[in-house]
Chains A and B, each alone.
Chain A
């Protein structure tokens, strides 16, 4: 039932947004990675849209007229969408909030800025984030974003409006977490692909509608009868990114008989593990929640050990027996970390498969074979 409602909503969403735009509502895009508090955009009366398209049947090669192949395919996909102007979401945004995360996405922001046809706000993320002055820097940037949004939309962003927005997005995060935690059971009632799609839908759908859908999903899943499939390898997916449409690996794992039961992915997955404190200085709360109190992405300083510890916790909590490390071509930080993680997982006798994607179809056969062999190997370990 909820599937139909959501599908219909997403089908009509571009038209809805165009209508809103005609009435003067601003559509504000932002790049994923979960360093842009959607709450602020929402509180300004604008519509936040996460620009997370990547993978899928369209190769990122259209961007090669602007950047060489050495930029990662997800970043290239963001340039491609800008150049081709075919994607309704990318075409309709009035302003871009670009978090300064990894060098690849930073370049995308600079290239969008170079073309100069829409307003850009660069949201500085201190990559060393432990100190108070770093937290304050980020909080100050959020205050500057608020000022820019107010000027851009003509709407005052009051504390009450921010608080209401935090409440709404906290509920969304809470529901996503609860749905995700259901997958700790022996046989998850929701596949990884379904979960990621649900998550991606939350980037484009109306947030209040999405919360309603997620409530229904949660209710339905808790009612579902669990079926025990003892020899299905339960896998953890680690990687920088799953773009909207980049579902090939998830599908291949499923086809091979494996089950990804949890994703430790930065870009393209909303960070739902923790709620934002909805009291006191809300900019401080947002800064803490989005910068400090979360598991850091690989581009952040000193993140390898913290992410390893988090991954090991997920292995234990989700009863995982193997890891799929899914990195994008030319992503130096994840490629470097793959060595560290593989070594640490080997010490703990946890098998890990390292996959690299350039979004093209050329490596499809090789990926399939490697995933099948890995799933078999992990299954052998279970038996």
Chain B
């Protein structure tokens, strides 16, 4: 266990002192000695753990899991979770900074990345949800909501005093929390959003829906205050927004480095390690750790870039991937690099800044949550993706659409049609489940990527001549 903790960025003395907590939490999660052995192998095989920045990111994830699993028994009197509600993070950061009695976190990326991606133990959690109301089969429920229900069903994390979600992409998250409320008596809140922006009425429509979400966030503040027993002011929220902007700048710098690199300095499966950071409620201390992890990774990757080192050869086809890497399985995105393709960016994080930054802190939070590519309607999302392809000089697009998400599923075929027509570059559609490793078929995936690479090479030759 100590060895694993070191691989995950814990210093020797910290690993020793944290060991009892770690063992207690891992036992609760059903992690066995065999699982630890497998985790070490997977870490070595799929993650660049010689990079200190990667190890530091893993440490933050592991810490958050342990803190969550042990929250009640370690005396946290109030627990608040966010789930598929990225706009709420500053509220909870404010809480964490204010009180040591409160444990707040954002579910379930940390469990998916560590329990799934590293230990390969996500399946029992998903199966537990499937035995409740999220049945397996043709209906194709989102495995992200299965992860949440499975964690509660197996009693792996304590029941919260408030569970916050939103309908940012779908109704499945609020429906799940609705049923968690009815069947498990968990208090819930859903942030209101409305996807009624017409293409012709940007940017006025953005202001309109930001206004609705901001009002809903104000009401959320009241609910959170009721739950924790102290006041959250607009000033506190503004302070947290300012504090998190430093992290956002560090993340943006890292993204820019990867986008412009040739060769790619780290394989795409690592991107999930820092994508989650923007979602996690961070106290002052953990914010500093997060920024340090990102800056460390940036410096290490910059050094690789300066030396011309990469995980693929120089001149490798540049790929834009839609949606983030798999949360539970490093293999598919690692394979892309192994086959000699460089995923340099994702449209998750491709923002449409069509309105100025508002003054009201609630509107700032709402705007941040609503401007990401998948939250726009198809007709707006397509030009955003095309512009991104042009800006980054992309050779091909992989739309790894998550089958449990009707929003991205519904966009996939027409995005392909539009990119092919407008840019003439190959687009590969990959149906996959971002939160469930079971449907992944390595050989089939490999064959499709190989064919895609052949298409990329052909297009590349054609453009050269």
Contact = CB atoms under 8 A, between A and B. Distances in A.
Interface of A: 65-68, 70-71, 100, 102-104, 106-107, 109-111, 113-114, 116, 120-128, 131, 133-134, 137, 141, 298-299, 301-305, 329-333, 335-340, 343, 356
A337 B175 contact: yes
B409 A114 contact: no
Interface stretch (B139-147, B284-292, B352-360): B139-147
Given A68-B431, A336-B133, A298 B196 contact: no
Contacts of B190: 127-128, 301-302
Contacts of B409: 67-68, 70-71
A329 B139 CA distance: 6
Given A110-B377, A336-B141, A68 B413 contact: yes
A126 B379 contact: no
Contacts of A137: 194, 212
Given A66-B413, A131-B219, A330-B139, A104 B179 contact: no
Contact of A332 (B141, B167, B169): B141
A113 B201 CA distance: 13
Given A110-B410, A126-B212, A329 B138 contact: yes
B379 A124 contact: no
Contacts of A332: 139-142, 170-172, 175, 406
Given A141-B196, A329-B139, A330-B140, 11 more contacts: A114-B379, A122-B198, A124-B194, A125-B194, A126-B192, A302-B178, A332-B141, A332-B175, A339-B132, A340-B179, A340-B183
Contacts of A122: 195-198, 377
B412 interface: yes
B133 A107 contact: no
B195 A106 contact: yes
Contacts of B181: 302
Given A128-B192, A340-B182, A113 B198 contact: yes
A336 B192 contact: no
A45 to B, nearest CB: 23
12 contacts: A66-B414, A100-B196, A110-B378, A110-B411, A114-B379, A125-B196, A133-B216, A299-B171, A332-B141, A332-B175, A332-B406, A340-B182
A348 B179 CA distance: 19
Interface in B175-195: 175-176, 178-179, 181-183, 190-192, 194-195
B139 A335 contact: yes
B199 interface: yes
Given A68-B431, A70-B409, A304-B179, A333 B172 contact: yes
A125 B215 CA distance: 15
B408 to A, nearest CB: 10
A336 B413 contact: no
B167 A301 contact: yes
A71 B401 CA distance: 13
A339 B131 CA distance: 10
B241 interface: no
Name the 4 nearest CB pairs between A and B, nearest first. Answer: A124-B196, A339-B133, A107-B410, A124-B194
A102 B171 contact: yes
B80 interface: no
A150 to B, nearest CB: 16
B182 A304 contact: yes
A304 B406 CA distance: 21
Contact of A70 (B175, B197, B406): B406
Contacts of B196: 100, 122-125, 141
B199 to A, nearest CB: 6
A111 B414 contact: yes
Contacts of A125: 194, 196
Given A70-B140, A304-B182, A339-B133, A333 B175 contact: yes
A340 B167 CA distance: 20
B371 interface: no
Contacts of B175: 298-299, 304, 332-333, 336-337
A88 B336 CA distance: 48
Given A124-B196, A127-B192, A67 B182 contact: no
A313 to B, nearest CB: 18
B98 interface: no
A116 B200 CA distance: 10
Interface in B27-41: none
B156 interface: no
Contacts of A302: 178, 181, 190
A304 B171 contact: no
B135 interface: yes
A335 B199 contact: no
B65 interface: no
Given A299-B171, A304-B178, A335 B192 contact: no
Contacts of A304: 175, 178-179, 182
Nearest to A120: B198
A333 B142 CA distance: 11
A114 B414 contact: yes
A113 B139 contact: no
Contact of A303 (B167, B178, B403): B178
Contacts of B171: 102-103, 127, 298-299, 332-333
Given A103-B170, A103-B171, A121 B198 contact: yes
Contact of B195 (A68, A100, A330, A343): A100
Nearest to A308: B182
B174 interface: yes
B54 interface: no
Nearest to A108: B410
Interface in B322-378: 377-378
Chain A CB within 10 A, most for which of B176, B192, B197: B192
Contacts of B179: 304, 336-337, 339-340
B63 interface: no
Contacts of B215: 131, 133
Given A70-B403, A121-B198, A141-B196, A127 B140 contact: no
A123 B212 CA distance: 14
B120 interface: no
Contacts of B169: 103
Contacts of A141: 196
B379 A110 contact: yes
Contacts of A109: 377
A23 to B, nearest CB: 28
B151 interface: no
A306 to B, nearest CB: 10
B302 interface: no
Contacts of B132: 339
A103 B378 CA distance: 13
B133 A114 contact: no
B134 interface: yes
B406 A107 contact: yes
Chain A CB within 10 A, most for which of B176, B178, B196: B196
B108 to A, nearest CB: 17
A331 B378 CA distance: 21
A67 B141 contact: no
B420 interface: no
Contacts of A303: 178
B167 A127 contact: yes
